[in-house]
Amino acid sequence: MIERKRKYIFNILPTLLGISVFWNCAVDVKQVPRGGFPNSNPIAYDEPVYIGKFEVLDNTEIGYSSAWKYAFRSSLLDNRVFSEVIANLPSEKRAANSLVLDVEISPNYEEKYNMWWTWPAIYPFTFTWPVQMRTGNYSITIRYSLYRENQIITQSKIEERSSETVTIYGFYHTSPFENMIQTTNAKALVLCASNISKKPQ
């Protein structure tokens, strides 16, 4: 009886290890884009703007929202949307009749495996079966409102989507997905800055 239990544990151990790898090689979705290069365009709004409400939905990490705010502020400056971007200042300390920008960022990442090809990597060829077909789909939505004294100047939303598939050792290769997320986020910030720069007629 004891010997049978030992054999059972020995046989099931690779499966358990494979499932553990399957669930724990997660993609790090917190890919806040790095700063770009300032362009030489004329400043769209030759005055400062205050960042008002700034939210990153589904925020699960302390400091993640702060990192996004820094990246968003840098993008506005690099793309010469405003002469100055002021964040983290209470509303009562803002200059009168100033521009205020509210921002809401909604990132979303989903992934799936083609289990028809991938299951052998869990059992019976744990760790050795190379075909681990993993597809990641990412989208980001940025909503913004620019206003002065509660009078809206412009408001809109932008969306960017992308997808990536890794076929060989997809359990372990998370960098293609993380690069995809970072690139998509960077595109979204540039597009958002461009849209805000277009003053309403």
The pLDDT, as a whole number, for residue 199 is: 79
Please state the rounded mean pLDDT for residues 145-171.
Answer: 94
Q: Would 194 be classed as within a structural domain?
A: yes
For residue 54, give its domain range. Answer: 36-107+137-161+182-198
Q: What is the pLDDT of residues 6-65, one digit of tens each?
A: 444 344 444 444 444 444 467 777 788 876 667 778 999 999 999 999 999 975 565 678
Instruction: Tell me if 117 is assigned to some domain.
Output: no
Domain presence at residue 53: yes
Residue 100 within a domain: yes
Within a domain: 113: no
pTM score of the predicted model: 0.83
Please give the tally of structural domains in the chain. 1
Tens of pLDDT, residue by residue over 88-130, are 898 889 999 999 999 999 999 999 999 898 888 878 887 788 8
198: how many CB neighbours lie within 10 A of its CB?
Answer: 10
Residue 115 covered by a domain: no
Residue-level pLDDT at 5: 44
CATH number of the domain encompassing residue 192: 3.40.50
* 3-class secondary structure, 113: strand
Domain assignment present for 149 = yes
Task: Give the C-alpha distances (Å, rounded to integers) separating 153 from 44, 84, 156.
Answer: 13, 18, 11
Q: Which position has the higher pLDDT, 135 or 16?
A: 135
